[in-house]
Amino acid sequence: MSTPPTGPLCTRDSIATQLGAAGLRRGDTVLVHSSLSSLGWVCGGAATVVSALLDVLGEAGTLVTPAQSADNSDPASWRNPPVPESWWAEIRASMPPYDPRTTPSTGVGVIPEAVRNRPGAVRSAHPQTSFAAIGARAAEVVAEHALDSQLGERSPLARLAAMDARVLLLGVGFDSCTAFHLAEYRLPAPPEADNSFAITTPRGRSWTTVRDVVLDDGDFAELGAAFAVARPVELGRVGGAVTRLFSLADAVAFAEVWLAARRGRNDVDGRVAP
């Protein structure tokens, strides 16, 4: 005998009403991080949540979600799980190249996949850390995403900060707040490392390596807790999910100061000084 579903019951109308009560406004440009399961039982699943978000934002608004595809990376860095070293060369030679139209997003939940597959959605060009967007400013958001700027100044994140976009955490915590990564790029002399992936060039598939900032979200939950105390964060509820809504640029500015103080300088042996 199967277990009956647990609530609350969420519909397109109820989600839209509660998003509005949580502070989302018509015309907003909003970066959404989400967990479908946190909402309860959603009639129509992830597509319903996307429809409700677009209902609230209206024709002048823009919905943005991460559409990451982290599996397109060097197998030497894989840890969950690792693969045998004897496989690495063949994986590098045969990894499917990133295609913004067909490469699925991974590790960001099912709502971003529903956005990515929505008619009219557009997607940025980075093979690992792309963003999908729908709405009035969607093309502007995803227009440039440099291969050596996963989440930096030549990525949609910097553009969203300049647009006065907001972040909506829908049933997830600050550890999912991608915007904080932009602050890592703005730290003095951030650590860098090689980053590899498969892309399509005019001459065909290519396994490509670039130099980029090392991303580290290990302290983002603590950073977010400090941010929520110091800066305006609107709390709400949609179904069973707690929502947090705040300025993306404000979050980045706060994170720059907090991370600089917390992480300190890099010692020559790679350790972080207190």
Whole-number pLDDT of residue 7: 82
Q: Where along the chain do its domains lie?
A: 13-263
Whole-number pLDDT of residue 254: 98
> Strand 9-10 vs strand 41-42: parallel, antiparallel, or unpaired?
parallel
Q: What backbone phi and psi angles, to 5 degrees, belong to 218?
A: -60, -25
Secondary structure letter of residue 96 according to DSSP = P
> Any alpha helices (H) in 138-241, and if so which ranges?
138-142, 156-162, 179-185, 220-230
Whole-number pLDDT of residue 268: 29
**Distance set, CA 80 to CA 62, 70, 76, 207, 226 (Å):** 34, 12, 12, 22, 30
d(CA 111, CA 91): 29
The 3-state DSSP composition of the chain as helix, strand, coil percent (nearest 5) reads: 35, 20, 45
Over the chain (274 residues), what is each successive 10-residue block's mean pLDDT? Answer: 81 98 98 97 97 98 97 94 96 97 95 97 98 98 97 98 98 97 96 97 95 96 98 98 98 97 57 33
DSSP symbols for 122-146:
EE-S-SSS-EEEEETTHHHHHS---
d(CA 268, CA 271): 7
C-beta separation of 161 from 177 below 8 A: no
Look at the chain and count its residues: 274
Q: Is the pTM of this model over 0.75?
A: yes
The end-to-end CA distance of the chain, in Å, is 55
Of the candidates 11, 6, 105, 7, the one whose C-alpha atom is nearest the C-alpha of residue 49 is 11
C-beta separation of 128 from 69 below 8 A: yes
